[in-house]
Amino acid sequence: MRKLLALIMALAMVLGCVSFAAAEGTENVITIAMETSPCLDPHWNAGSTGAWLQSLMYEGLYTVNETSFELTGATGVDVNDDATVWTFHLRKDAKWNDGQPVTAGDYVYSIQRLVDPDIATTYMDFYGAFIKNGEAISKREAEMSELGVKAIDDYTLEITTQEPCTYLDSILTYSTFYPLRKDVVVEDGTGDWAWEVARAITNGPMNMTYCDEDQEIILEKNPTYYAADTIKLDKLVVKLIDNSTTTLSMLETGEVDLITGFPSEEATRLQKLGLYHAIPALSTNFLLVNCQEIDGNVFTDARIRRALSLCIDREYLCGVLLNGTKQPAVAYVGNGFSGSTPDADFRGEGGNMIYTDEDEARALLAEAGYPEGAGFPVLTCSYGNNSADYQIMFEYLQSVWEEELGITVQLEPLDKAVMTEYRDSGKFDITPQGWGADYMDASNMLSIFVTGNFINGGRYSSEVFDNSYYESLKTVDQAARMALLHTAEEQLLNVDMGIIPLYHGSAVAIYSDDVLDNVVIGASGKPLLQYAIHK
């Protein structure tokens, strides 16, 4: 039914209005590939592909650009002295794609929906906690009328934070704070309404005109967007494919123009062909280690987790096995996040926290009661079978852990859906995970390891970590706030080794300069395709 509705609405939109491209005679059409079933509901989404498409379909108060972010949904903002009250003066020329104005009430509804316990969206507890009484409302300890967000008038929005928050502007770049139209949302606990073209009432540079969530999504230029004359892209065709080898083949045969994922063993060849375009990304890939206090789980011992980490030669893993496509992790939070001053770097101030030392690893394992691996249970590495990189990486880890520690390692490649279920339910020893910053502050990288965070699949828990992180949220002084975040990271790695960082990613776009022009990779790590041109 959804696919039939999408087809009907796509036809209706074509008949109902003539696109800019059709009027001009020549369409600028780009075709890309990404994973199937991206979530398009701003409050249910927790994936990078969904966020990427949403950034084209919606516009919030702030928008990520090439190097940072800028105020876009408003023409100005007033912030009180302790950064607890932010008053936004909204654009009066911003419209939804059906012509209705975007008002402060649309932002109020969206933030209310975020924290509504009857809806219980993905980031209800995390992002709701930044808004005054948001967390209390999500726990049914306060009424919605007490939420720190209100429309002063149609074009004046006031947001009050729970604690002083000097970096709220960065947080508001994330898709969960996009405005929403209440009359188009359907609450069924899934967010699937957002795949329906009839309900795709959005305010960004592109409209969704067709959606088959397993096969293809089409976006077209939005003629009601206030800055439509700056948008170069007329149509974006999104092929939904889960296999990176397949998408690379499609690129090379001309079926798609750009991809962002590929098998790392192809990196050198793609670089030689001039197809590889990359910048450092604000992301880290790591191993989740099952930290649950359950019978027979040896991985609750921090010495064992540290021993596993100490055996890994990240320079070799990244430079040789992954063909230089990743940057070896020297800590968890990578470079690119502000430090104690705007000009300082968080990682530069915190220094390196990870190294390789096989002798120390063996000593720690013996100290934990398993000299030369004697008596250690079989270690199972579970991971998705759709990534050639994972297979290469875990074959390497299997080799070094067996050789250096004398333990037996079993590899368990699984279908994507099965792997997701395993991770969410904690049915694993070790599994890979990655996290890219939702907003450009080191606190966001660390936030996922707070006790109880749903992304914290290894169930890591530390009172010192939690206290340091939460104290940082209400600290106005930037140097003091960063010191608290460094304390949290120190606890996570140097004390507990609650996870095992492997590498920092690169924001990569694979395409030919003979085919595409003006492809800019934004600070979010995704190409800003609305400005790209198909030659």
Q: Is the pLDDT of residue 410 over 70?
A: yes
- Distance between CA atoms of residues 439 and 127, nearest Å: 11
Of 529 and 425, more confident: 529
Residue range 428-446: average pLDDT?
92
Tokens of 293: 């206090």
pLDDT value of position 103: 98
pLDDT band per the 50, 70, 90 thresholds, residue 506:
confident
Rounded to 5°, angle at Cα 227 from 5 and 174: 70
pLDDT value of position 19: 35
pLDDT band per the 50, 70, 90 thresholds, residue 494:
very high
CB 345 within 8 A of CB 338: yes
Q: What is the mean pLDDT of the chain?
A: 92
Q: Is the pLDDT of residue 524 over 90?
A: no
Among candidates 89, 416, 30, which has minimal Cα distance to 238?
A: 30
CB atoms within 10 A of CB 127: 24
- Measuring CA to CA, how many Å separate 282 from each of 99, 321, 341, 504? 36, 22, 19, 7
- Distance between CA atoms of residues 201 and 207, nearest Å: 8
Beta bridge partners of 236: 30, 219
Among candidates 496, 115, 125, 157, which has minimal Cα distance to 302?
A: 496
pLDDT value of position 17: 37
Tokens of 407: 């333990």
Which 3 state secondary structure label does DSSP give 517? strand
Q: Which residues contact 473 (CB under 8 A, 6 or more apart)?
A: 129, 130, 162, 163, 165, 443
Ordered DSSP codes for 50-100: HHHHHHHH---SEEE-SSSEEE-SEEEEEE-TTS-EEEEEE-SS-B-TTSP
Q: Is the pLDDT of residue 14 over 50?
A: no
Tens-digit pLDDT profile for residues 265-298: 899 999 999 999 998 888 999 999 999 988 889 9
Tens-digit pLDDT profile for residues 78-88: 999 999 999 99
Domain span(s) for CATH 3.40.190.10 in the chain: 2-244+511-534
Which 3 state secondary structure label does DSSP give 153? strand
Q: Is 78 exposed, middle or buried (0-12, 13-18, 19+ CB in 10 A)?
A: exposed
Among candidates 521, 517, 516, which has minimal Cα distance to 506?
A: 521
- Distance between CA atoms of residues 287 and 500, nearest Å: 5
Which CATH architecture does the domain made up of 280-507 adopt?
Roll (3.10)
Tens-digit pLDDT profile for residues 354-385: 999 999 999 999 999 999 999 999 999 999 88
Q: Which residues contact 354 (CB under 8 A, 6 or more apart)?
A: 309, 314, 329, 330, 331, 493, 501
pLDDT band per the 50, 70, 90 thresholds, residue 95:
very high
Among candidates 86, 91, 94, which has minimal Cα distance to 149?
A: 86
CB 216 within 8 A of CB 210: yes
pLDDT value of position 298: 95
pLDDT band per the 50, 70, 90 thresholds, residue 387:
confident
Q: Is the pLDDT of residue 394 over 90?
A: yes
Tens-digit pLDDT profile for residues 465-479: 999 999 998 899 999
Which CATH architecture does the domain made up of 2-244+511-534 adopt?
3-Layer(aba) Sandwich (3.40)
Of 293 and 141, more confident: 141
pLDDT band per the 50, 70, 90 thresholds, residue 16:
very low
Q: Is the pLDDT of residue 1 over 90?
A: no
pLDDT more than 90, % of the chain: 80
Ordered DSSP codes for 196-215: -GGG----SSEEEEEEETTT
pTM exceeding 0.85: no
pLDDT value of position 295: 83
Residue range 191-219: average pLDDT?
97
Domain span(s) for CATH 3.10.105.10 in the chain: 280-507
Q: Which residues contact 203 (CB under 8 A, 6 or more apart)?
A: 58, 59, 94, 95, 96, 97, 102, 179, 225
Q: Is the pLDDT of residue 424 over 80?
A: yes
Tens-digit pLDDT profile for residues 336-348: 899 999 889 999 9
